[in-house]
Amino acid sequence: MSQRVGIIGVGLLGGALGQRLAGLGWEVFGHDPAVPVVDGLTMYASATELAGQCKVILLSLPTSDIAVRVVDALGQTVNGQHCFIDTTTGEPGEMEALGQALAGRGAMYLEANVAGSSELAKRGEASLFLGGSTETINRCSTLLESLAAKRFHVGPVGAASRFKLVHNLILGLNRAALAEGLALAEALGFDAADMAEILRKTPATSAALEAKGEKMAKADYEPPQARLAQHLKDVRLIRQLADRVGANTPLSSVHQSLLERAEALGFGGADNAAVIEALRRGNL
């Protein structure tokens, strides 16, 4: 594989992945109507122009339906030499349909869902959940190794999206539990920053506490590592998927309400640590 890659969608995650690759010597091209400039990337004005120059393309888009529309719009530019690696957290059925559509054009498609914040991704410390064929993974091995040291092949296309939603359910509920505990500590008269520091040294510590405890205690949500509105989108997908398979997710129902309240309070674009504001500001 040539060390040239295109990225469609260079927001928080896509930009971080692009900068990581550029720092490792990759020739990285990007396209995003909302982000005209990213350090280390050569930006194209259109996705079609990018696809004409890059045979390996990362997709890092807000939702799977946007990913479908973007790929559809590429039209005849896509051919059997293209390989799409999709980091979008989306609806699994739509990811499967996208993979089938690309296969019909002779192109390869691989889910590479990222477990970890944009900061972790930029440092290569996030994990990848891979959904697709072993052949595609082998073809993209150099790129995947550059993106993350920890990679898990969890099944065919669709499997990675499903597993990412399981991961995000657990991670999001850890954040929500941390937020509730710190909000209670504040209501009881404790200093949240002091409590977070003590909790780090007890069995109540967690990766969520390490990543978000200080942010919650200081109400420090900018710049975001991952936006609250994006996680709300994920929780809605989680609940839809759970309903479809008959799984019970009562805690995710409450979590969705918390996130919706935080978004209504104006924190949708803020770091997802801002879920604590839904608890600080009165009853749901």
DSSP string, 244-268: HHT---HHHHHHHHHHHHHIIIIIT
Report all structural domains of the chain as residue ranges with CATH numbers, in order of start.
4-156 (3.40.50.720), 162-280 (1.10.1040.10)
**What 8-state DSSP symbol labels residue 46?**
-
Q: What is the pLDDT along the chain (284 residues), one digit of tens a residue?
A: 569 999 999 999 999 999 999 999 999 999 999 999 999 999 999 999 999 999 999 999 999 999 999 999 999 999 999 999 999 999 999 999 999 999 999 999 999 999 999 999 999 999 999 999 999 999 999 999 999 999 999 999 999 999 999 999 999 999 999 999 999 999 999 999 999 999 999 999 999 999 999 999 999 999 999 999 999 999 999 999 999 999 999 999 999 999 999 999 999 999 999 999 999 986 65
Residue type, 103: A
- Between the alpha carbon of residue 250 and those of residues 7, 200, 243, the distances in Å are 37, 28, 11
Bond from prior residue into 156 cis (ω within 30 degrees of 0): no
Q: Is the pTM of this model over 0.75?
A: yes
Q: Which helix (H) or strand (E) holds 42?
A: strand 42-43
